[in-house]
Structures are given as structure tokens and as C-alpha cells.
Structure 1
């Protein structure tokens, strides 16, 4: 089951090296992003809408399930298909590929449906992300490991996502999201674990071209895993981000990953390494051409 689913100057020097852009997520599927929960983005009943996007790397700040370091770098390609099942119901499927140094290193797929009643909408989906090669994800910059949820030995994950939007008026809305799933690590990883359970909650608001969200995540070993160092551990983190969509088809995003976290940010000699939970502020600019 795990293997079936398969330009303007940037605003700061680390992001120039990383080639970072905004308005993407690890799943990369458009119907779970804030702007596409609005009724104008839904296909009519019986019609098909196909969308593709190729950009420099996308961050994970708008995603409620998995997270990448904002300085990770790389490129991302995504394709989605939406079909109008009924006046208010749309089915979707999408695939996203994230690559570093021209090699595909992370592939995500997602299927789901959205109910849109005008003032409020709700989308649910099942997603999987995996690395096609059984090697740790590459280190792109010093101190910026290309891991998932702070885990450089990420192998694959499966999760169920839900996201909803309630419109306060014609230009403002409130967004809620949730995700539950399971992360698999590569064999022989230094944590000595094979599986982690993960949960995430998100809360966001949008007003015209400005949107912001806060995401809380928690990970812990699967119950019953035999490891005396980490069996009772739990790692929590909170991300905060704000995006301003500019009139000339650009967007400016700023915030911090792991603005708060529990657990050790650095490894200690007394036990195996912890997931990387270093606080990472970022400022990012993206221009659609």
C-alpha cells in the first residue's frame, strides 16, 4: 500500500541560496489551500478542471499534516484534477513531486472531495507522501536539513486531512484544518524507531489579499514500540505564517517554523537524536510569470 501511491530577487540571502517560493504545501493539492475553498474555484456539475503548476520549491506552512524546513530548496511540480459531481460537491485527485538537484526525492498523492455551500465549505482527503529512494533526504544548506517534520530519515506517510472555511463576508473568512496519520522512517535510523503517529490542527483567517494561519503538530512513537529512550516521548511544535498576495501576481510571506516546540532542539549524549525542532524565521517572495 505504501508504494502504490506514488523572477525577481528574493528578500534575503539564505532564501536566494535555497530558491524558496511560497503558496505550496507538501501535499500540493489545490483544494486544501485557502484560496481554493472559495466557490469561484469549484468546477460546474459534470465538468472537469485540470490544473498544473511548476515552481521553485514551495513551503509547507499552509499544510496541516507535514512540514518541510523553509530553507530546504529544490523544485516542485504538481497536477490536480477536479470533477463536479453535484452542484455543491467536487471530487479531486492530485500528484506532487518535490525534487532536489534534478532527482525526485519526495512524491505525494491525494484523493478527496469538497462540499461547498457558498458561505461555508468542507474538504476531506486521504494522502500519501514517500521518498522513492531509500536514502536520507539531502542537506542543501548548513543547518537546513531537508527533512519532513524535522526527520531526515523520513520514508513515507499516510494521513487523513480535513479542511473547512466559513465566510464572514465577501472578502473575509475563517479556516480550520485537521490531520491524523502515521509516519514511517527508513530502516536503521538513529532514533531507533520505525513508525511515528502524527496529528495536526490549524486555524487561519483571510481578509482580501492577506491571510494568516497557525499550525500545531504533535508526533509520538506508535504505541507498543520497543525503545526505552523514546517510547514515552512526544514532540510538539507550532508554526505561524502570514501571506500577502500582491496586485502584480506576486506574494510575500513571512513567519516562523517551530515558533514554539517541546523536546530537545539539539541531540544529547544520553540518548538517540531528537527530531529537529529548531526555530526558523523566514521571509519569502514568489512571483508568477
Structure 2
């Protein structure tokens, strides 16, 4: 039986080689769980510092309820500095970078604080993501557009995030998250818009090594924008994901991005004229070395 369990992850290697990765929101939940676990075992005492670093093949960030196409591939690395303000309050400053091939494409930063009262914890932060060069994000695979929230012409975003956990038992709990922000697009994009308002809500549950989450997201043009045929449009979607943290420092994740959406755009030779909301199932096995 043990040999069977050890060989199961190998069955999913072809998916990883094809560029399948977990959506940003599910990785955000995983990072939150890992951070809460580390705070329980090694929370910085009042007046002390703790540095956390992560690196993986997942094209997602752990600082916001933003989403990347699961087929986009890429790598993400992040570092977070925690400072113990009081026995229950920890301040955090983090940076992350998502890359494709060898060129950095999206750089993010986050400033916030976490209140941990044992049974429940709450974190609030302000985050920003931006593209260092003013070019559309690359197509890594045929038909797979690298972008944020289905937008290949993503330029930058600023958002306020809140994430909390309520313990039900010693090894299970409820996860709640929310994000409100604004996305800026590159000039000359096919949508003919410069900014979009975005809101997201997430609900999850964890029990031992297994955690799952469902995320609802909505985007709409900034109110009062003139001369745009999409000013009255609104794009909604729901993602679903499950992660199993394995005993040998690995994790197996599966789910679907845009499990439900308000509508799919018709692609043009230049790309999608609206946010890409195609349903995308994924499977990922990740091994920490």
C-alpha cells in the first residue's frame, strides 16, 4: 500500500511537464495555511523578526485574490519578513516575483498585519502587482494566454486583502477571504479600457492535510469611463480547488478555474477582446526539495 501511495504522484508528472499549475487563489490559501502553521510553531516574539522564503513552479502569488491561467506555467518566488508587534499581532512585508523563461514578468509587494488569537486569526494587507515592461504577457502554450484574471494586457493592480481562519477542532478550520482593488491595463488593449474594478470572495475548509476552496470573482469597468462599448459589462466567475499536502513534503492539487462564468469571449487573431473565462481543469503535483 505504501509503495502504491509513493508512486501515485508520478502519474501526474505529464500534467506538470505540460505546464499545468494551480490557480493563484488556491495557492494563496495554501500559503495562508503554511503561514498560520509557522506562526503557531515559530511566531516571532514581541520585537523580533522572522524571515520566510518560498519558491515553486506555480505561476501564482500568495499576496492577493488575483488569478492566473493554470496553463500559463512559469515560476514564483517570494520572501516575507514578519515582525512581532505584540504577542498576538505580527506585521508583515513581502515581495514576490513571477517569471516565464528567464525574464521577470510580474513583480508584487505586500504590507499588512496578522492578528492571531489562537482559535481564530485575521490578516489584512495592501498589495500591488505590476509588469516591469510595457508589453503584453507572453503566450507560453498554444491557446493559453498568460494574464491576470484572464487579461493578457495586464499592466498593474492595487488591492486590499483580508483573510481569516476560524478553528473548528485541533486540526480543522474555516477559511474566509476577500479582496477589493483596481486593475490597470496596457494602452491600446483590445477591450478599449484603461482600468477595471475587481472584487473577490473565497470560502475554504481545511482538515488535516486536505484543504479546499471556492472563489467567486467579479470585474467591471471603472464607473464613469466614457466612450467604451463595454462600460455596462460585468464579468463573473467561480473557481474550485482541492489540495492534499503529502507526508513527504509534496502536495497534490486539482480543480477547475472558471468552473462557472458569466460568458466566454470569442477569440480573434490578436487575442480575446474580453477577459478569458474559458473553463480550465488542472492537476498539479509539487515537491519541496
Give the TM-score normalised by structure 2. 0.89
1:85/1:32 Cα in 2 relative to 1: closer, same or farther (>3 Å)? farther
Show structure 1 runs of 5+ residues with no match. Answer: 1-7
Mapping of residues 1-289 of structure 1, within 5 Å: 9=10, 11=12, 13-18=14-19, 20=20, 25=24, 33-38=32-37, 39-40=39-40, 42-59=43-60, 65-267=65-267, 273-289=273-289
1:59/1:130 Cα in 2 relative to 1: closer, same or farther (>3 Å)? closer
1:198-238: per-residue Cα shift (whole Å, max 9, x none)? 00000000000000000000000000112342010000000
CA distance in 1, matches of 2:21, 2:68: 13
CA distance in 2, matches of 1:110, 1:286: 25
Deviation, structure 1 residue 47? 1.7
CA distance in 2, matches of 1:58, 1:36: 19
> Does the CA-based 8 Å contact 1:32-1:163 persist in structure 2?
no
Of stretches 35-44 and 206-215 in structure 1, the one that deviates more from structure 2 is 35-44
Q: Secondary structure at the match of 1:223?
A: coil
1:32/1:160 Cα in 2 relative to 1: closer, same or farther (>3 Å)? farther
CA distance in 2, matches of 1:53, 1:64: 16
CA distance in 2, matches of 1:37, 1:58: 22
1:156/1:167 Cα in 2 relative to 1: closer, same or farther (>3 Å)? same
1:111-163: per-residue Cα shift (whole Å, max 9, x none)? 00000000000000000000000000000011111110000000000000000
CA distance in 2, matches of 1:142, 1:46: 51
CA distance in 2, matches of 1:9, 1:188: 44
Q: Secondary structure at the match of 1:11?
A: helix
CA distance in 2, matches of 1:228, 1:91: 42
CA distance in 1, matches of 2:21, 2:11: 9
Runs of 4+ in structure 1 displaced over 4 angstroms?
Answer: 28-32
Q: Secondary structure at the match of 1:273?
A: coil
CA distance in 1, matches of 2:128, 2:203: 23
Root-mean-square deviation (CA), in Å? Answer: 2.4
Deviation, structure 1 residue 34? 2.5
Show structure 2 runs of 5+ residues with no match. Answer: 1-8
Q: Secondary structure at the match of 2:266?
A: coil
CA distance in 2, matches of 1:89, 1:118: 11
> Does the CA-based 8 Å contact 1:137-1:147 persist in structure 2?
yes
Q: How many residues align?
A: 277
> Does the CA-based 8 Å contact 1:14-1:71 persist in structure 2?
no
> Does the CA-based 8 Å contact 1:64-1:215 persist in structure 2?
no
CA distance in 2, matches of 1:63, 1:244: 21
* Partner residue, 2:5: none
Deviation, structure 1 residue 36? 1.9
1:17-46: per-residue Cα shift (whole Å, max 9, x none)? 32x555x848x8899623323451532222
